[in-house]
């Protein structure tokens, strides 16, 4: 553990950017014309253009939410809404342009791939340029591609599900994404198929004042299983960046989907993501959500428990350092009997950072014998930092078991003394305690990501004063 701390690649943390060499670069700002242009360049079916334009109108009408983190600094006119990095998509690693490969080398995509990736969908700018799907996945009938390809090759499936769980009317940023979306992943797992290795996608913002609006759609048919992993890193720029993604997941009867995110956007990024899953009868949906980076994150992965016996879970970690506000949480909606949900949230604030847990659990009439478990723990590392909890429960059914626990902890002198009295230096002792605090969630993350998370925490902690 200590070793990884001393071997940290600082460049990785502070970001890097490659010279830009784009085929097409849209102008800044958003207009009806730009939305039309995006759809035109992508060669989309007419219904998608209509969907985008309708969403654009909704985006204009909706106001920026003021109930959460401060979003007043976002200047929508100062953002590029679409950039197409290379002319054609490439199918193998060696065909990738050199500078893009260099960027990926630094994140470590090839190594990761060698190890145990079933398929990589790596996003550079707003379009997926590299994608490889293993023969195994093809054989099983699993579709794993970027959303644009998904729309082109499987328009019927996309049309059936796209925007039905998160309509553009949901919120301003979902509307924005619906109007200008580009990239993201499309995953379809046929009935009874278990995808044994996690599907991973790497994301990257690499252009100043450029927002990324990827759109992900996952459909897991009856009795199937898939684990999707999303990890993000971004170079640091001085001006604001916006990341407004939408993720929709359909978990059919007896199916199970796990969606893991390790988010480490640079601290100028507004990360405003709408994630929602629908769980049918006896289906299981698990969100594992780690937010380390970004200036502001507002994200509340939700599960709509529609089918009897469905189960939803959100395990989350949020880390807020200087000038960061992580406003994260979860939403669980129980519509059917015997449904259960579990929310475990761990947040850490340091050096003036702010974390907020915002959660909603709703049990609708008739959702008898529902079980709800909510546990949110906050760790505050110094006096300048802040943590708030906004748990909301609306229970309209009497036969329900509800459990709610919340703790706020300060990194205690006693625990630090205990560890330092064993000869461990104070910053190392702090890292040990912070990593211990998040351990119940961190252990749910695939190994390579939990190692990365551990490194990030150690690095954040080693910068701590006092």
Residue numbers at the binding site for other proteins (CB under 8 A): 1-2, 413-415, 417-426, 428-429, 432-433, 435-440
Residue 370 bridge partners (DSSP): 400
As given in the structure block, the two tokens for residue 312 are: 């939803």
The least CB distance from residue 268 to other proteins, in Å, is 31
Q: Which is nearer to other proteins, 259 or 437 (CB)?
A: 437
The least CB distance from residue 435 to other proteins, in Å, is 7
The least CB distance from residue 451 to other proteins, in Å, is 14
The least CB distance from residue 261 to other proteins, in Å, is 21
Q: Which is nearer to other proteins, 88 or 414 (CB)?
A: 414
As given in the structure block, the two tokens for residue 316 are: 């989350």
The least CB distance from residue 226 to other proteins, in Å, is 29
Q: Where are the alpha helices (DSSP H) in 314-446?
A: 413-420, 426-442
Q: Which is nearer to other proteins, 48 or 344 (CB)?
A: 344
The least CB distance from residue 299 to other proteins, in Å, is 24
Q: Which is nearer to other proteins, 6 or 92 (CB)?
A: 6
Helices and strands per DSSP (H, E), number in the chain = 13, 23
The least CB distance from residue 428 to other proteins, in Å, is 6
The least CB distance from residue 198 to other proteins, in Å, is 23
Q: Which is nearer to other proteins, 19 or 423 (CB)?
A: 423
Q: Which is nearer to other proteins, 145 or 441 (CB)?
A: 441
The Cα 49–Cα 157 span in angstroms is 17
Q: Where are the alpha helices (DSSP H) in 135-171?
A: 135-140, 147-153, 155-161
Q: Which is nearer to other proteins, 200 or 450 (CB)?
A: 450
The Cα 165–Cα 179 span in angstroms is 16
Residues making up the chain, counted from first to last = 466
The Cα 236–Cα 265 span in angstroms is 8
Phi (first) and psi of residue 56, to 5 degrees: -60, -45
Looking at residue 388, what DSSP letter applies? E
Report which of 251, 254, 253 is spatially closest to residue 276, judged by C-alpha positions.
Answer: 251
The least CB distance from residue 5 to other proteins, in Å, is 11
The Cα 401–Cα 363 span in angstroms is 10
Q: Are 331 and 301 in contact (CB under 8 A)?
A: yes
The least CB distance from residue 429 to other proteins, in Å, is 8
Q: Which is nearer to other proteins, 1 or 23 (CB)?
A: 1
Residue 145 bridge partners (DSSP): 186
Q: Which is nearer to other proteins, 140 or 420 (CB)?
A: 420
Q: Which is nearer to other proteins, 325 or 346 (CB)?
A: 346
Half-sphere exposure of 408 (CA within 13 A, CB side): 12
Looking at residue 90, what DSSP letter applies? B
70 Cβ partners below 8 Å, 6+ apart?
296, 325
Residue 216 bridge partners (DSSP): 247
- For the stretch 242-278, what's the b/e string if a residue is b when 16 or more beta carbons lie within 10 angstroms of its beta carbon? bbbbbbbbbbbbbbbbbbbbbbbbbbbbbbbbbbbbb
The least CB distance from residue 294 to other proteins, in Å, is 24
Q: Which is nearer to other proteins, 164 or 407 (CB)?
A: 407
- For the stretch 24-36, what's the b/e string if a residue is b when 16 or more beta carbons lie within 10 angstroms of its beta carbon? eebeeebeeebbe
Residue 76 bridge partners (DSSP): none
């Amino acid at each position: 553990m200590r070793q990884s701390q001393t071997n940290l690649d600082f460049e990785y943390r502070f970001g890097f950017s490659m010279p830009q060499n784009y085929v097409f670069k849209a102008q800044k700002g958003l207009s009806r014309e730009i939305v039309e242009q995006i759809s035109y360049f992508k060669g989309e079916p007419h219904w998608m253009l209509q969907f985008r334009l309708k969403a654009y109108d909704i985006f204009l009408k909706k106001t920026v939410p003021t109930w959460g983190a401060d979003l007043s600094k976002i200047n929508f006119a100062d953002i590029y809404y679409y950039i197409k990095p290379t002319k054609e998509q490439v199918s193998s690693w060696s065909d990738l342009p050199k500078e893009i490969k260099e960027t990926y080398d630094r994140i470590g995509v090839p190594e990761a791939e060698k190890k145990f990736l079933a398929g990589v969908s790596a996003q550079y700018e707003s379009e997926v340029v590299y994608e490889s799907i293993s023969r195994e996945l093809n054989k099983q009938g699993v579709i794993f591609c970027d959303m644009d390809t998904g729309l082109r090759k499987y328009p019927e499936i996309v049309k059936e599900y796209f925007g039905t769980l998160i309509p553009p009317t949901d919120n301003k940023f979902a509307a924005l994404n619906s109007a200008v979306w580009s990239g993201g992943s499309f995953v379809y797992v046929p009935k009874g198929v278990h995808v044994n290795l996690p599907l991973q996608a790497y994301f990257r913002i690499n252009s100043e004042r450029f927002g990324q609006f990827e759109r992900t759609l996952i459909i897991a048919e009856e009795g199937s299983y898939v684990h999707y992993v999303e990890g993000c890193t971004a170079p640091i720029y001085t001006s604001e960046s916006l990341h407004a993604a939408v993720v929709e997941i359909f978990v059919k009867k007896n199916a199970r989907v796990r969606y893991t995110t390790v988010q480490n956007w640079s601290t100028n990024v507004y990360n405003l993501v709408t994630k929602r899953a629908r769980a049918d009868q006896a289906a299981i949906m698990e969100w594992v959500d780690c937010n380390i980076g970004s200036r502001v994150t507002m994200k509340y992965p939700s599960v709509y428990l529609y089918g009897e016996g469905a189960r939803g879970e959100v395990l989350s970690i949020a880390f807020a350092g200087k000038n960061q506000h992580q406003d994260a949480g979860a939403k669980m909606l129980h519509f059917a009997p015997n449904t259960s949900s579990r929310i475990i949230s761990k947040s850490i604030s340091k050096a003036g950072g702010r974390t907020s847990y915002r959660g909603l659990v709703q049990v609708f009439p008739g959702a008898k014998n529902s079980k709800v478990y909510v546990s949110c723990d906050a760790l505050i590392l110094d006096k300048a930092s802040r943590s708030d909890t906004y748990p909301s429960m609306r229970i309209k059914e009497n036969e329900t078991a509800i459990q709610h626990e919340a703790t706020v902890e300060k990194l205690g002198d006693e625990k630090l003394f205990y560890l330092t009295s064993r000869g461990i230096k104070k910053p190392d002792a702090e890292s040990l305690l912070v990593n211990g605090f998040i351990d119940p969630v961190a252990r749910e993350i695939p190994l390579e990501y939990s190692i990365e998370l551990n490194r990030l925490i150690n690095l954040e902690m080693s910068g701590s004063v006092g």
